[in-house]
Homo-oligomer: A and B are copies of this chain.
Amino acid sequence: MSRHENTPPPGQSPPLRSRRPTMADVAAEVGVSRALVSLVFRGQPGASPETRERVFEAASRLGYRPDMAARLLARGRSKVLGILFTARNPYHVDLVEAIYPAAEELGYDIVLSAAVPTRDEHKAIEALIGHRSEALLLCGPTIPDEDVHDLGRRISTVTVGRRVAKAPVDTVTTSDRPGVREVVDYLVDLGHRHIAHVDGGGRPGAPERRRAYRDAMRSHGLGDNIRIIRGNHTEEAGSDAARAMLADDRPLPTAVFASNDQCAIGLLDVFTRAGVSVPDQISIVGYDDSHIAGLSHIDLTTVRQDVPRLAQLAVQAADEQLRGVREPGSYLKLESKLVVRGTSGPPAAD
Contacts and interface: CB of A to CB of B under 8 A. Distances in A.
Interface of A: 1-3, 14, 16-17, 63, 65-70, 72-73, 76, 78, 87-88, 90, 93, 96-97, 100-101, 111-114, 116-119, 126, 129-132, 153-156, 168, 235-236, 238-240, 242, 266, 269-270, 272-273, 278, 291-292, 295-298, 321, 323-324
Contacts of A126: 65
Point out which of A68, A155, A292 has the most chain B C-beta atoms below 10 A from its C-beta. A68
Contact of A97 (B17, B68, B116): B116
A113 B109 CA distance: 12
B69 A97 contact: no
Nearest to A66: B130
A129 B65 contact: yes
Nearest to A67: B132
Point out which of A87, A118, A155 has the most chain B C-beta atoms below 10 A from its C-beta. A87
For this chain, the copies found in one complex come to 2
15 contacts: A3-B321, A17-B154, A17-B155, A65-B130, A69-B72, A87-B93, A88-B291, A97-B117, A97-B119, A100-B116, A101-B118, A111-B131, A112-B114, A238-B297, A239-B296
Given A168-B16, A298-B269, A87 B78 contact: no
Main secondary structure, interface of A, reads: mixed
Contacts of A113: 112
A85 to B, nearest CB: 9
A155 B17 CA distance: 6
A314 B306 CA distance: 38
Which 7 pairs between the two chains have the least Cβ-Cβ distance? A3-B324, A239-B297, A69-B72, A269-B297, A97-B116, A69-B69, A112-B112
A270 B272 CA distance: 10
Given A69-B70, A96-B114, A236-B295, 12 more contacts: A14-B154, A68-B132, A87-B87, A88-B93, A93-B114, A93-B116, A97-B118, A111-B131, A236-B297, A266-B297, A272-B273, A273-B278
Contacts of A154: 14, 17, 63
Contacts of A14: 154
Nearest to A154: B63
B73 A100 contact: no
Contacts of A66: 130
A236 B155 CA distance: 41
Contacts of A238: 297
A275 to B, nearest CB: 8
A254 to B, nearest CB: 18
Contacts of A68: 69, 130-132
Contact of A100 (B119, B130, B292, B298): B119
A79 to B, nearest CB: 12
A281 B68 CA distance: 56
Contacts of A88: 90, 93, 291
B235 A292 contact: yes
A111 B114 contact: no
A130 to B, nearest CB: 5
A272 to B, nearest CB: 5
B153 A16 contact: yes
B67 A70 contact: no
A65 B113 CA distance: 16
